[in-house]
Chains A and B, each alone.
Chain A
Amino acid sequence: MSEDRRTASGIPIKGCYGPDDVPPSAGAALAAGPGRAPFLRGAYEGMYRTKPWRIFQLSGFGNPADERERLLFLLRQGEGGIIMEHDRNTADHLYDVDHPEVVARREDVGLTGAVIIGVRDYETILDGIPIQDIYTHPGGAVVQHAPFALACYWTVAKRRGIDLRRLAGTGQSDFFLTYVGCITKQQIPPSAGLRLNGDITEFCLENLPRWVPVSIAGYNGADSGLSAPDELATVFATAVEYLDALAERGRHEPQELSHKVGGVNFRVGMDFFEDIAKLRAARKMWAELLQRRYGIRDEKARQLRIHVVTAGSALTYQQPFNNIARGTVMALASVLGGVQSLGVACYDEALSIPSEHAHQMSVRIQQILQHETGIDAVADPLGGSYYLEALTAELEARAWECFEEIQQQGGFIEALDSGWLHRRAARRQSEQWAEVESDARLIVGVNCHEIDETPFEIDGFQGTTDAWDQATARLAEVRSSRDGAAARHALRELERVCRSTENVMVPMMQAVDADVTLGEIGDVFRGVWGDWEPPIRP
């Protein structure tokens, strides 16, 4: 009992908790119940009885046809929506496949996501998929890529005669992925990203009422090292930055905007109770922040909806099947925390992008939880636990402290540009790994129980090897068969709007419809906004 124990973020924990450990402030939030502000106990009243969480896995590799096949596979397994993951070489950088940086690594193309050079590739992928009925994240996780990805998907819908108002799904354009966790070689600066995210949000508000325009993804900060309270603080510091920028435009009321910004993502890792507490604290913080800062009283406008991805960094290269157990534990925590949708990182995460089998297991883990365990029957079943309520309150207090620290520096983008965030993440990353090296923190297969006497080795999914060749051929075909004058006109119009204060999504829709390619959009963006200089060298 004398042993010093702490949560993953360093909160000291006792051996047992009692009524005196629950702060009085928890009482009112607990009494409100699920579906009522401040939503400590859940976003919706009926929770999973009325709305099971959505099984929502990332997927993408190779050629458009490979991507389509995998999406259909996942839908057959019982996925509740589709997430399209694009090739990092081309999509994240807005490079066409003939860009020298891409050619130099042509074999890599298609390994980390599908190669999608324009709207025709989207049509190939989505062929036969009833997108009017499917909740979709069509890609665009990285900020500069998002307008293109969304416009392509929406254009496919328009060409099929589907009313955009009927489409449901989510964008991402996440600052954490783009500027913290996965820094690209070239990227427009955060100020330009803020403008584009504002344009996407307003475009959705006016044209796609069922669409979550952007999704702040704390995951990408947390998996880079940010602690649970830091993740909470930085997610809301980003949200405030979005809302302030949109309020300044003056086209919509904060109350209309807050619901659009309130579909976020968190990481759930292996600290079971801390991460459950984090998701509960998140809903409460958002509801209170919106009331305090913007005077929003409407409850629905303050309802935070959470997507969780379980921590890829918690999965090991060694003894990879152990990761199925880890995925189950993290999925369980996510559900007990009250998620609306969930992606379980696949067991081969440390080796490769997911194989079909690994993907299937991530879906099955969730289905087993949904159908066999009964944990979906009761909302916030751990609510009122002395330990959990104490931890939730402590996390919240620490998160507000960090939030204030960010505000004092001038806000999230300042903290980003100065490298404060990166240093904070890197420091904790080092500390955490030092704990593993000194055996203060044990990871099975890494620093204990390393001997695998009956090794079930997997070699990692190898994907397709002709993605660059095929994309090169498609690019030539697009360039020769499209109406060149229309494409040039669309690009000029896009550039004009980028330099104005009009909404970029309008000419972006026209540009993708005119078969403008990824790299051409990138050239316009780079010409208008230039490159961000990252505070660290990735």
Chain B
Amino acid sequence: MSRVIIAKTGLDGHWRGTLLVSRALRDAGFEVIMLGMARSEEIVSAAVDEDADLVGLNVGGRVEVVERILDDLAAAAPGVAVFAGGVVPPWVLRRLEARGVEVYPPGSKLGDIVAAARRLTRRPPSDASRAENALQDHEERRDERKAEQ
């Protein structure tokens, strides 16, 4: 079972988003660890100690705080995927996406978030299957787009 850590980057306690997402991930079979409002070092050590596959960051503050967490995670737990959601204005969304972080702003479908979690937690066991995964990713995304139209 894939393990996902959900953490809030800031000290703003509004929780409706994290709770909805956590519940949807649990319903989809993920093991969700709700970390609450956590500092970068707490998120990193939880990711390592809990052997997490994915970290979901609920953003309620500045992008610099998020970027510090991303840097720390990349250094200490490079295999752990990260995605984000929350009050993320478009310019922040673009900045995070530019460094490879998928971002789900308010109004995102839980179905899309769950699909992303599945995609991001698929651990590639070898180079051969990595290519296979990439192909599968491509097809899934194409199907998702079709379903949307």
Asked if A and B are interacting partners, one says yes
* A residues neighboring B (CB under 8 Å): 88-89, 92-93, 101-102, 104-105, 107-108, 111-112, 181-185, 223-225, 313, 316-318, 350-352, 426, 429-430, 433, 437, 443, 445-446, 457-460, 536-538
Flag if B89 contacts A88 (CB, 8 Å).
no
Distance in angstroms between the alpha carbons of A313 and B9 in the assembled complex: 20
CB distance from B109 to the nearest CB of A (A): 6
Distance in angstroms between the alpha carbons of A224 and B13 in the assembled complex: 12
Distance in angstroms between the alpha carbons of A352 and B62 in the assembled complex: 10
Selected from B35, B61, B106, B110, the residue in CB contact (under 8 A) with A105 is: B61
Note all chain B residues with C-beta closer than 8 A to A89. Answer: 10-12
Note all chain B residues with C-beta closer than 8 A to A224. Answer: 15-16
Selected from A105, A313, A537, the residue in CB contact (under 8 A) with B10 is: A105
Distance in angstroms between the alpha carbons of A105 and B57 in the assembled complex: 14
Chain B residues 18 to 77 lying within 8 A of chain A, measured CB to CB, are 18-20, 23, 34-37, 39-41, 60-62, 64-65
Distance in angstroms between the alpha carbons of A111 and B88 in the assembled complex: 13
Note all chain A residues with C-beta closer than 8 A to B65. Answer: 105, 107-108
Flag if B64 contacts A92 (CB, 8 Å).
no
B3 contacts the other chain (Cβ, under 8 Å)? no
Q: Return 16 A-B CB contacts under 8 Å, by A number.
A: A89-B12, A92-B11, A102-B11, A104-B40, A105-B9, A107-B64, A108-B10, A108-B60, A185-B11, A313-B16, A317-B106, A351-B89, A437-B110, A537-B34, A537-B36, A538-B14
Distance in angstroms between the alpha carbons of A184 and B60 in the assembled complex: 13
Note all chain B residues with C-beta closer than 8 A to A107. Answer: 61-62, 64-65
Selected from A108, A430, A458, the residue in CB contact (under 8 A) with B61 is: A108
The A interface, classified by DSSP as helix, strand, loop or mixed, is loop
Distance in angstroms between the alpha carbons of A318 and B62 in the assembled complex: 20
Interface size class on chain B is: 35 or more
Note all chain A residues with C-beta closer than 8 A to B109. Answer: 437
Flag if A350 contacts B87 (CB, 8 Å).
yes
Note all chain B residues with C-beta closer than 8 A to A429. Answer: 16, 19-20
Note all chain B residues with C-beta closer than 8 A to A182. Answer: 12-15
Selected from B13, B23, B35, B107, the residue in CB contact (under 8 A) with A183 is: B13
Note all chain B residues with C-beta closer than 8 A to A101. Answer: 11, 39
B78 contacts the other chain (Cβ, under 8 Å)? no
**In the complex, the 5 A-B pairs of residues with the closest C-beta atoms, listed nearest first:** A460-B89, A108-B61, A107-B62, A107-B64, A538-B15
B105 contacts the other chain (Cβ, under 8 Å)? yes
CB distance from A11 to the nearest CB of B (A): 23
Distance in angstroms between the alpha carbons of A138 and B61 in the assembled complex: 23
Note all chain B residues with C-beta closer than 8 A to A183. Answer: 13, 15
Note all chain A residues with C-beta closer than 8 A to B12. Answer: 88-89, 112, 182
B124 contacts the other chain (Cβ, under 8 Å)? no
Distance in angstroms between the alpha carbons of A350 and B89 in the assembled complex: 8
Note all chain A residues with C-beta closer than 8 A to B9. Answer: 105, 108
CB distance from A294 to the nearest CB of B (A): 34
Flag if A105 contacts B39 (CB, 8 Å).
yes
B100 contacts the other chain (Cβ, under 8 Å)? no
Distance in angstroms between the alpha carbons of A437 and B87 in the assembled complex: 20
Note all chain B residues with C-beta closer than 8 A to A317. Answer: 105-107
Distance in angstroms between the alpha carbons of A488 and B12 in the assembled complex: 30
Q: Chain A residue with minimal CB distance to B23? A: A430
Note all chain A residues with C-beta closer than 8 A to B14. Answer: 181-182, 538
Flag if B19 contacts A536 (CB, 8 Å).
yes
CB distance from B13 to the nearest CB of A (A): 4
Distance in angstroms between the alpha carbons of A88 and B61 in the assembled complex: 10
Note all chain A residues with C-beta closer than 8 A to B64. Answer: 107
